[in-house]
Amino acid sequence: KAGVTQTPRYLIKTRGQQVTLSCSPISGHRSVSWYQQTPGQGLQFLFEYFSETQRNKGNFPGRFSGRQFSNSRSEMNVSTLELGDSALYLCASSSWTGHSYEQYFGPGTRLTVT
């Protein structure tokens, strides 16, 4: 079974620009979550999508948005980039198997804002 894939792996953008990151979950997983990881704030939850609907949202400004497609692939968009948005963005796909919950992460997209 293929793992979670994220594209692109690295990205450099300028302040004020916007960016779109993509995540393809593990086959059969319908839930996709996004996290921001920075040295100062650690891992912070951005949002979760399930069956094309945003099911949960973290404490981030409206510049951060996402969506999920019918094939469970998800995109995350950040508009009007700020220097503080430089981070590793991790996508995770998850599913319930019986009474067990599993969540697996992709390799991440390293975003640098200059």
Q: Which spans of this chain sit near another protein (rule: CB under 8 A)?
A: 33, 35, 42-43, 45, 48, 55-56, 88, 90, 92, 99-105, 107-108, 110
At which residue do the structure tokens 């997209």 appear? 109
Distances (CA, A) of 50 to 30, 43, 68, 114: 6, 21, 8, 33
Residue 58 or residue 79: which is nearer to another protein going by CB?
A: 58
Shortest CB 80 distance to another protein, Å: 26
Residue 14 or residue 100: which is nearer to another protein going by CB?
A: 100
Q: What is the dihedral of CA 68, 69, 74, 80, to 10 degrees?
A: -70
Shortest CB 90 distance to another protein, Å: 6
Residue 66 or residue 108: which is nearer to another protein going by CB?
A: 108
**Distance between CA atoms of 90 and 108, rounded to whole angstroms?**
4
Shortest CB 110 distance to another protein, Å: 8
**Distance between CA atoms of 65 and 39, rounded to whole angstroms?**
22
Residue 30 or residue 79: which is nearer to another protein going by CB?
A: 30
Shortest CB 77 distance to another protein, Å: 21
At which residue do the structure tokens 């949002």 appear? 47
